[in-house]
Amino acid sequence: MSSAAGGAGEEGGAAAAQPQQEGPVVTCKGVNGLDKVVLREVRGSSAEVYLYGGHVTSWKDEHGEELLFVSNKAIFKPPKAIRGGIPICFPQFSNFGNLDPHGFARNRTWSVENDPPPFPVPTSNKAYVDLILTHTEEDLKIWPHSYEFRLRVALGPGGDLMLTSRIRNTNADGKPFSFTFAYHTYFSISDISEVRVEGLETLDYLDNLQERNRYTEQGDAIVFESELDRIYLGTPSKIAIIDHEKKRTFVVRKGGLPDAVVWNPWDKKAKAMSDFGDDEYKRMVCVEAAAIEKPITLKPGEEWTGKLELSAVPSSYYSGQLDPDRVLQDSSVPEDSIS
């Protein structure tokens, strides 16, 4: 596996002669010998991506503080998905279809793509890696479609974490295919009782704890007092997760992903999960950028793009509105995002 992805390792022999621990992109071994890619931004932020699952398992700020939650009981052993970080749900979210819950992308080993098709907007930043996943014969037995799934994971100069998914229908038989999708992001928080999610007020949601019946959000923010598992529909491009104790706000920006899932398993479900600590629900919350209610349909040759950008900022920054003047970096992604 080359470490040239994203611009690292270009020194040739010189790079091979010394450890590349300070480069913007380093490939190495992770838990249980699984391959991973470490991204570092010059100001000190970092991210780690396992090739197994195309799975981001770490995102640290310039002070080295971990911003994503990964369970202490996470099983880094295929075919089990990694519990925490940012699992990718494709081609199916949850049980919205006939596949195993959340599809198979998070259970497959991806490849580093050193020469991907150009992005709409080039970047001068070198802290990124491009991964690719394509169908296997085994996949075709359960989901009979040919596809190319390209994932770019990048760190911005300010430490923002950006994920861009590009999914293309490569069926040779002329058939379209449909899929649902989510970036199943686990955020690290101080305590679930200290957290509120803003930006989803007055919206309709499907309640997974009530047979997916449709309700309208009545609160001025989402707070957590028991298990919560909802799919919010037609959501804005920006959502905030405010952690009062840490005085920190996560800002979630998304493109091509109209829905948002908010989830915390609470105590009973936490105890029922073998790869999740009994009390870990207190230190995590999932807010997931998703396309669920209306599946994405691609004809052969069509490509869909789904973007996620995560920022962590002091809570004083948030004053009742989600930075309306700022748009997604590389903001050439329209809402329908199909070309």
- Tell me the C-alpha distance between 155 and 158, whole Å: 8
Is 184 annotated as catalytic? yes
Q: In what order do the strands lie in the sheet with 55-60?
A: 25-29, 35-40, 46-50, 55-60
Is 138 annotated as catalytic? no
Residue linked to tokens 């197994």: 52
Residue linked to tokens 């955020």: 187
What single-letter amino acid sits at 293? E
Selected catalytic residue, list 41, 48, 280, 288: 288
- The answer to whether 88 and 165 have CB atoms below 8 angstroms apart is yes
Selected catalytic residue, list 184, 198, 280, 309: 184
C-beta atoms surrounding 7 within 10 Å = 17
Question: Using CB atoms within 10 A of its CB, is residue 28 exposed (0-12), middle (13-18) or buried (19+)?
Answer: middle
- Tell me the C-alpha distance between 237 and 79, whole Å: 33
- Tell me the C-alpha distance between 97 and 304, whole Å: 20
Beta bridge pairs of residue 36: 28, 50
Please tell me what DSSP assigns to residue 48: E
Percent helix, strand and coil across the chain, each rounded to 5?
Answer: 10, 40, 50
Please tell me what DSSP assigns to residue 267: H
Question: Which tokens belong to 266?
Answer: 């609470």
Alpha-carbon torsion angle 223, 60, 251, 232, nearest 10: -60
What single-letter amino acid sits at 292? I
Please tell me what DSSP assigns to residue 116: P
CA distances from 148 to 5, 12, 144, 226, 304 (A): 18, 30, 13, 39, 11
Which residues are known catalytic residues? 184, 288
